[in-house]
């Protein structure tokens, strides 16, 4: 770990993390070597476990989300994003915005459109052990 801080807010730790991010040009593989908390699969797994732990204590996803984030309106923001991500219209607008902002990007001589970006993103996550993670036995949430 970059720092062993267990504080909820630690500005000194934040500055150290920013320094490391800058030092490695935000390369995720190098960041993971510095601090395992940058590992995308482990990070999402830890967040999901914390959220499930809150849910099992209070039996409300809305309150569990609020406790996880420490903010009262966090649950409504999360649900708003979930609804938007499920909207074809919203995702079409994301695609158009991405392609408008990145018209000049080419990878291996080909234009790098939104679909190519998503495919690359998914392939990179496979490199971090997503396939093995998906095969792990799941505990039911009670």
pLDDT category, 136, cuts 50, 70, 90?
Answer: confident
CB 131 within 8 Å of CB 122 = no
CB 110 within 8 Å of CB 116 = yes
CB 41 within 8 Å of CB 133 = yes
Q: What is the pLDDT of residues 29-48, one digit of tens each?
A: 899 888 888 898 888 888 98
Q: Which residue has the tokens 């079409």?
A: 92
User: 107 or 44: whose pLDDT is higher?
Assistant: 44
CA 141, 131, 129, 77 dihedral sign is: negative
Lowest mean pLDDT among 9-13, 33-37, 108-112, 138-142: 138-142
pLDDT category, 97, cuts 50, 70, 90?
Answer: very high
């Amino acid at each position: 770990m970059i720092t062993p801080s267990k504080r909820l807010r630690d500005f000194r730790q934040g500055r150290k993390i920013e320094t490391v991010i800058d030092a490695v040009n935000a390369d995720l593989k190098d960041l993971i070597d510095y601090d395992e908390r940058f590992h995308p699969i482990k990070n999402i797994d830890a967040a999901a476990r914390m959220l499930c732990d809150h849910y099992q204590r209070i039996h409300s996803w809305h309150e569990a989300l609020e406790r996880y984030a420490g903010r009262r309106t966090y649950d409504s923001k999360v649900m708003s994003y979930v609804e938007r991500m499920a909207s074809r219209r919203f995702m079409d607008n994301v695609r158009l915005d991405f392609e408008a902002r990145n018209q000049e990007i080419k990878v291996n001589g080909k234009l790098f459109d939104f679909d190519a970006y998503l495919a690359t993103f998914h392939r990179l996550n496979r490199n971090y052990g997503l396939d093995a993670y998906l095969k792990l036995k799941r505990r039911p949430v009670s």
